[in-house]
Amino acid sequence: MASLLSDLEPGPDTSPEFKRKKRRITNETPASFHRNQVNQRIKRWRTEREQQVYSSKLIEALRRSRRTSSSAAPNEVRETADRVLAVSAKGTTRWSTAILTSRLSSGAKMREHRKAKVIANTRLKKPKINREKRKLPVFERKLKVLGRLVPGCRKLSFSNILEETSDYIAALQMQVRVMTAITEFLADGVGGGSQPPADRLGSNVNP
């Protein structure tokens, strides 16, 4: 009798709930699936767990840079914060990959910039007006500006630029919250010499 009842009961792969989930996944288009992945990445930057991880990595990176140099310049702190943010993205976005690779080629770019500056000084000519840029529609001009603001997004399509920009803005918002919390903690604990714990910084930050 028990074996007969077990045969009559629907299995996990034939239950109505399983069929509904399978139908929903099957009917999901690649565009909607990609959109859901982007939304999940954006939501990740607002979680307390992600802020704690970023806080601990940032504090450790700032400590290492402080040990290697006598005083950390504002540009160095900003570059460290951006590099840690790109590492936290785990290479899943173009902007994070661009930040990590730009550091490797920064020395070569600096040399090229100096060489171009010398050539520009020796050839003093009147700048030519690029009339092609004036012919571009307003929408395309703004899209080009947006592509220059987000690292690694100069030659992307409109939809890809919007996705990268949304993720980049969410990551920067988390960066600002964490760095604000670190600054406030250091301002309160300068006299005591206490170190900012990452879990406290993460719990004090509102997503």
Provide the whole-model pTM. Answer: 0.65
* Measured CA angle at 87 (ends 166, 78), to 5 deg: 80
Q: Of 179 and 30, which is predicted with more confidence?
A: 179
Q: How many CB atoms lie within 10 A of CB 161?
A: 20
177 lies in a domain?
A: yes
Residue 196 confidence (pLDDT): 58
* Dihedral over Cα of 79, 85, 89, 93: its sign: negative
Task: Judge whether 20 lies within some domain.
Answer: no
107 belongs to a structural domain = no
Whether 48 contacts 205, CB under 8 Å: yes
Spatial CB neighbours of 191, under 8 Å, sequence gap ≥ 6: none
Residue at 116 is within a domain:
no
Note down the domain range covering 200: 30-99+137-204
CA atoms within 13 A on the CB side of 49: 2
| Residue 165 within a domain | yes
Is 129 within the bounds of a domain?
A: no
Total domains in the fold of the chain? 1
Q: What angle do CA 57, 196, 73 make, to 5 degrees?
A: 65
Chain mean position to CA 182? 19
Does any domain span residue 85? Answer: yes
Q: Tens digits of per-residue pLDDT, 43-85?
A: 999 999 999 999 999 999 988 887 776 556 778 889 999 999 9
**Residue 106 in this model has a pLDDT that exceeds 60:** no
The answer as to whether 119 is a domain residue is no
Residue 130 · residue 141 · CB < 8 Å: no
Is 51:16 a contact under the CB 8 Å cutoff? no
